[in-house]
Amino acid sequence: MALVLFCKSDPSLGCLFSERTNVLFIVADDLRPSLGCYGDALVRSPNLDQLASRSQVFLNAYAQQAVCAPSRTSMLTSRRPDSTRLYDFSSYWRTHAGNYSTLPQHFRDSGYFSMSVGKVFHPGIASNHTDDYPYSWSIPAYHPASFTFEKKKMCKGEDGELHANLLCAVNVSEQPGGTLPDLESTDEAVRLLKSRAGRPEPFFLAVGFHKPHIPFRIPQEYLSLYPLDNMTLAPDPDVPKDLPPVAYNPWTDVRKREDVQKLNVSFPYGPIPKDFQLRLRQHYYASVSYMDAQVGRLLSALDELGLVKSTIVVFTSDHGWSLGEHGEWAKYSNFDVATRVPLIMFVPGVTADDNWLGEPTFPFIDALRQSQRSFQNARVIRNVVELVDVFPTVSTLAGLHTPHHCPQPSLQVELCTEGKNLAHTFVHQERGRNGELVAFSQYPRPADTPQENSDLPDLKDIKVMGYSMRNWDYRYTLWLGFDPSSFQVNLSDVHGGELYMLEDDPGEDNNVYSDFNHRVLMRKMDALPHNVSVQTRMKLQLHYLTAGMKTGGRTV
């Protein structure tokens, strides 16, 4: 199979290909950009680094909500959480919000054979207990049988008994069936690739890996890549003194694991003992390398089946994960460590001339240990992008009709996008950093102070919504009153604010929101028409704030 015509979907991009491409869409779970190709000097991720060296790499990509079901639904429908009306795990967007088309559905409706392996949509109510089949997939979605053991007592403790631990490196041969979920998912994905090779019908194969999501139930040999003596703590382990309490994530899912419960960590601020922090970070990194090895198996299969020259490869994650920064663990916040994700796109013949993804290193722990940490690639996009951009971008890259931008309101519009089409970045050079490009994330809270349900409040319990806007220079967040019965936000009911100057404070440790007089600003916002969106208002607010800085004042 040859490749696709950009000009069918957007004539301004030119005719780069001749026929349709396949798509291999890979999504990790809870993966922050802790990869060699993103500058992490500790992690061993040779397969993803090799893919990135022949791909376009988006350095500043952001999820729309740092929790699984809302983020995946948002990415796959290209609608923000306020449009899907999914902030928890307990509703199906087609019946709860609108009958929105999805990325795999768009490909299936365009003549592709679409397949899902592992965790792509969040299973359960959020995808109608079917992973949105038959809308999105040509065949029922595959889930590894061994995942049923993921939350059970599978981790051997120091007492020799099995526990439901956070840290859970195992001997795979001793696990039920002698396997683990991501091993099974990779086996099935390779089988499906083999079944589609040589067929005239193009395919869209989505593969969702469960790691590095907790518990860290991984093959024990991956720990050897990260000796504890080499591990370090987070550079900013303390809760920022000016952080509004509503912004804090008390990481209750981590606390529920048996080995963490034994630590008797105080609620809500902890901290976890430093020796356990080191082991936790060690297991997270080892989980990343284990997941990277499975990516290597997929890329190897593409190569062996002669599919590299006819397959777009997309790799991303649903959101990040805090590793002790700001005294937090897990996701559930608007900090960059929770919202920033890797986003890598390989387009054969466009991002790489030789179309070669390289030999995988997955079978060899020694090879992983000795892997190169250098990464060179001229195709790096530094400006801010979002996961809602993936749908229109991949559609254009594959030559499909590109969804139009959604009108307001768009509840009755089945196919549209609330993201940006990034396909032009593959043919036009990036023109420096663009502070006008922004990413929006949001997170719900049940109260102004950390509660047991602060991380995952049910819809009915949401009282505050934290809207966060990120550009190259700033991260600006407002925590606003929210009515879950009407899905309405009260723009004048401000429960807290955050403003970080990222050039001087890249770790978001110094909240300067209180340095500004916001009363004049709020009066200006109140004068705007009521139908102006939260996102537009925040853009204007940040404009007024930065204008005040440029004139030498700290007020607006």
Over the stretch 188-228, which tens digit does the pLDDT of each residue have?
A: 999 999 999 989 999 999 999 999 999 999 999 999 999 99
Query: Mean pLDDT across the stretch 225-233?
Result: 97
Q: How far is CA 370 from the centre of its chain?
A: 28
Tokens of 554: 């700290």
Question: What pLDDT, on a 0 to 100 scale, did the predictor assign at position 19?
Answer: 67
**What does the pLDDT look like over 35-64, one tens digit per residue?**
999 999 999 999 999 999 999 999 999 999
122, 143, 210, 518: the active-site residue: 122
pTM: 0.93
**pLDDT reading at 339 higher than 90:** yes
Which residues, 6 or more positions from 500, have their beta carbon under 8 angstroms from its beta carbon?
A: 474, 475, 508, 509, 510, 511, 512
**What does the pLDDT look like over 454-464, one tens digit per residue?**
999 999 999 99
**What does the pLDDT look like over 388-409, one tens digit per residue?**
999 999 999 999 999 999 998 8
Question: What pLDDT, on a 0 to 100 scale, did the predictor assign at position 11?
Answer: 55
**pLDDT reading at 440 higher than 90:** yes
**What does the pLDDT look like over 255-308, one tens digit per residue?**
999 999 999 999 999 999 999 999 999 999 999 999 999 999 999 999 999 999
Question: What pLDDT, on a 0 to 100 scale, did the predictor assign at position 356?
Answer: 56
Classify burial at 192, counting beta carbons within 10 Å of its beta carbon; exposed 0-12, middle 13-18, buried 19 or more: buried
Mean pLDDT of the chain: 90
Give the model's confidence band at 154: pLDDT under 50 very low, under 70 low, under 90 confident, else very high. Answer: very high
Using alpha carbons, select from 40, 34, 33, 57 the residue that is nearest to residue 374.
40
How far is the CA of 74 from the CAs of 39, 319, 404, 438, in angstroms? Answer: 27, 12, 16, 17
Length of the chain: 556
Give the model's confidence band at 363: pLDDT under 50 very low, under 70 low, under 90 confident, else very high. Answer: very low
**pLDDT reading at 230 higher than 60:** yes
How far is the CA of 334 from the CAs of 219, 449, 477, 498, in angstroms? Answer: 31, 16, 8, 10
Residue 439's DSSP bridge partners are 470
37, 68, 155, 416: the active-site residue: 68
Question: What pLDDT, on a 0 to 100 scale, did the predictor assign at position 5?
Answer: 47
Question: What pLDDT, on a 0 to 100 scale, did the predictor assign at position 360?
Answer: 54
Question: What pLDDT, on a 0 to 100 scale, did the predictor assign at position 362?
Answer: 43
How far apart (Å, rounded) are the C-alpha atoms in residues 380 and 553? 36
Give the model's confidence band at 550: pLDDT under 50 very low, under 70 low, under 90 confident, else very high. Answer: low
pLDDT greater at residue 20 or residue 221: 221
Classify burial at 321, counting beta carbons within 10 Å of its beta carbon; exposed 0-12, middle 13-18, buried 19 or more: buried
How far is the CA of 536 from the CAs of 308, 473, 529, 547, in angstroms? Answer: 41, 18, 11, 17
Mean pLDDT lowest among 262-276, 307-321, 364-378:
364-378
Question: What pLDDT, on a 0 to 100 scale, did the predictor assign at position 305?
Answer: 97
Tokens of 411: 């509840």
Task: Name the segment(s) of the chain with CATH classification 3.40.720.10.
Answer: 6-105+115-150+159-426
**pLDDT reading at 150 higher than 70:** yes
**pLDDT reading at 418 higher than 80:** yes
Give yes or no: 168 in active site.
no
Give the model's confidence band at 491: pLDDT under 50 very low, under 70 low, under 90 confident, else very high. Answer: confident
- What count of other Cβ atoms lies within 10 Å of the Cβ of residue 405? 15
- What count of other Cβ atoms lies within 10 Å of the Cβ of residue 115? 25
Give yes or no: 416 in active site.
no
| Structural class in CATH, domain 6-105+115-150+159-426 | alpha beta
Query: Mean pLDDT across the stretch 380-386?
Result: 95
Residue 442's DSSP bridge partners are 467
Give, as one character, the DSSP assignment of residue 55: S
